[in-house]
Amino acid sequence: MSATTTARRRAAAALTATLLVPLSACGDGGGDEKKADAGSPSAGAEAANLTVLAASSLTDVFHTAKAAYEKSHPGTKVTFSFAGSQELAAQVKQGAPADALVTADTKTMDGVRAETRDVSIIAKNRLVIAAGKGNPFKIDELKDLADPKIKVVLAAPEVPVGRYGKQILDAQKIEVKPVSQEPNVRAVLSKVELGEADAGLVYKTDSAKSGDKVVTVDIPDEQNAVASYPAAALKQSENAEAAAAFVAWLSGPEAQKILQDAGFQKA
């Protein structure tokens, strides 16, 4: 390893240390994207401690994935750092000490292609309207979000879910003036759950996890956008074989069942 690479990693470590969210051992479009070979020899990869940077919308499902992966790969421990995809990409560019990256859109992944190995689309998702508990404003379609009496919160346009949201609103020529623009989808959902906003655009899988804290309003397919989740091992990983094995596993039958059970669509 060169002195320059070592220096970059030391500098990046200070930046990312506070963002890494360890999970306990008991469980808790473009480029040359392709489906990973579900038959890749992931079980034969050497044991390692893996750090995976993952989009916020994967927080809950990756808790389950962690437990399953560690059970079938004794000796390997997986730690996730969840944040907005754009934040994760910035960490990768700064040389953060991580092994794999999973984003909520292909555009963000394309922006770090120089730092990644082969890319695989592991899942897809769709947007919904998350309305406040009981849906007091009777929101039932996108155009209702233009009502100035309704406090709408969106993700910032540089965030994948914010970009998808802008795309579908612009396509329907609906002008929405959000009360805030948040750094990731979880922050949008939290605002609605806490009553700080009346509605927001989030992923279907996130809204489903809120139970009766919000009312999920589906958006017709012809007005919606499909979010693709690409995953890739990082070239800077010191656990190249184990990182590649984890990414391959995400496209395999066990991980795909976990993702689809959580509401994600098949890639």
How confident is the model at residue 47, as a pLDDT? 78
Where are the chain's structural domains?
A: 3-124+228-261, 126-226
3-124+228-261 and 126-226 share one fold: yes
How confident is the model at residue 46, as a pLDDT? 66
Q: State the fold for domain 3-124+228-261.
A: D-Maltodextrin-Binding Protein; domain 2 (3.40.190)
Please tell me the pTM assigned to this model. Answer: 0.82
Positions of the chain with pLDDT lower than 50, given as ranges: 1-43
Cα(190)–Cα(207) distance, rounded to whole angstroms? Answer: 10
How far, rounded to the nearest angstrom, does the alpha carbon of residue 226 sit from its chain's CA centroid? 13
Cα(17)–Cα(26) distance, rounded to whole angstroms? Answer: 22
How confident is the model at residue 19, as a pLDDT? 42
pLDDT digits (tens, 9 = 90+) for 136-163: 999 999 999 999 999 999 999 999 999 9
pLDDT digits (tens, 9 = 90+) for 63-89: 999 999 999 999 999 999 999 999 999
CATH architecture assigned to 126-226? 3-Layer(aba) Sandwich (3.40)
Cα(228)–Cα(61) distance, rounded to whole angstroms? Answer: 15
